[in-house]
Structure 1
Amino acid sequence: MSENTTRIAVLVGSLRAGSINRELAEVAAATAPESVQVEIVEGLAAVPFYNEDLDVEPLDPAVADLRAAIDAADAVLIVTPEYNGTMPAVVKNAIDWASRPYGAGALKGKPVAAIGASLGRYAGKWSQDDARKSLGVAGGRVVESVEVGIATSELGERTVSQVPEIVEQVRGAVADLTSAVGVAA
């Protein structure tokens, strides 16, 4: 990897093995330009719920890995389903851990964005809006131009990678997020 490579850490909000959101993240990684490394952060299921009493050295290994992955990235992409009208707890928990220590967390000043897929007719808009709000409060620079919402009912029997329009939307999201790296806040 060259020093000119842009690194994007991807947090997937669905823990399900056959998740369409996981497919979106994999499409982002597979279609990224050569100069962009998109890495899906694994192990979110092992991250304990945020508790200030646990936020001491030595950190839980899953927390240390999460913070290190985000810290090493130039930007962060959340790929989230919508559960009961908002983002899943695993996404909020990852944001909470990455926002600490207060004022100096791994998200501070990084370009961040949220995309996703959901069963609902609004294609996960509420979960993405809530993720953007939380990411901004946590210190990230929300890239507002990144908006990809997939209504999973429209896929039918196709996978995400079999729908050229979706692949193009995801590729565009990665491009917009990459363009925000290095841009002053």
Structure 2
Amino acid sequence: MPTLSPPRSVLCLAGSLRRASWNRRLLHVATSMAPPTLRLNVFDALSSVPLFDEDMEQREPAGPAGVQALRAAIAAAEGLIIATPEYNHAMPGVLKNALDWLSRDTPEGEVLLEKPIAVLGASGGPWGTRLAQASLRQVLHACGALVMPTPTVFVANATVRFDHKGVLTDLTTARSLQRFLLAFDHWLTRVAPPASEAQPAGTMP
């Protein structure tokens, strides 16, 4: 009998500090919809990451405590899902700031380099988060991340897709999110197969 692999650990990061943000709600919904092969955990301490400052970096080569916590959480996960709002046609500054910290090289290496990442986003407005996701993808590519190209999830008019308790009530969005999670599961297998599936040394594929 084949041995079943444990579910892959995926960290989820919302690019907003608002506790009731649509993107945090979207990620919490995703944790309940993930296939059994994935285990999703939402990171809720983005507010502890200070503004990027090279002087601070020189004083603390490992980075401030908030940066260390985020970097360690990403390093421990096999994949990363980022949900971004759209502020003024771009990703929020708090998310860009976190990525600037994460892009820095450390003795343990660059945490985003070759990290499988998927991007989605929700907005209360009618345009979704297309421009924010485009700017986010550009930064992630610059960091050497392995960003899933498709499918995309752009949740517009989020106020009518969740109820007052944060439950996703829109079936179309739910189906899109489910497809997105299944695709990310396949993306992880494609770009970072489990050790049990890796090609043994000295054998032909």
> TM-score scaled by structure 2?
0.81
- The unaligned stretches of length 5 or more in structure 1 are none
1:116 counterpart (117, 121, 129): 121
RMSD: 2.2
- The unaligned stretches of length 5 or more in structure 2 are 193-205
Q: Is 1:81 the counterpart of 2:71 in the alignment?
A: no
Which residue in 1 is equivalent to 2:69?
65
Identity %: 32
1:42 counterpart (40, 44, 61): 44
Aligned counterparts of 1:181 and 1:153: Cα–Cα separation in 2: 28
Aligned counterparts of 1:106 and 1:100: Cα–Cα separation in 2: 8
Give the structure, 1 or 2, with the largest relative contact order (CA under 8 Å, sep 6 or more).
1
Aligned counterparts of 1:77 and 1:118: Cα–Cα separation in 2: 17
1:152 counterpart (136, 150, 157): 157
Q: Is 1:15 the counterpart of 2:17 in the alignment?
A: yes
Q: Which runs of 4+ in 1 moved over 2 A?
A: 52-59, 119-122, 156-160, 182-185
Which residue in 2 is equivalent to 1:171?
178
Asked if 2 retains the 8 angstrom alpha-carbon contact of 1:70 and 1:98, the reply is no
User: Following TM superposition, by how much is the alpha carbon of 1:167 offset from its aligned partner in structure 2, in angstroms?
Assistant: 1.6
Give the number of aligned pairs: 184
Aligned counterparts of 1:8 and 1:115: Cα–Cα separation in 2: 14
Asked if 1 retains the 8 angstrom alpha-carbon contact of 2:153 and 2:180, the reply is yes
1:130 counterpart (132, 135, 139): 135
User: Following TM superposition, by how much is the alpha carbon of 1:160 offset from its aligned partner in structure 2, in angstroms?
Assistant: 5.0
Q: Is 1:97 the counterpart of 2:104 in the alignment?
A: no
User: Following TM superposition, by how much is the alpha carbon of 1:168 offset from its aligned partner in structure 2, in angstroms?
Assistant: 1.7
2:53 counterpart (51, 57, 67): 51
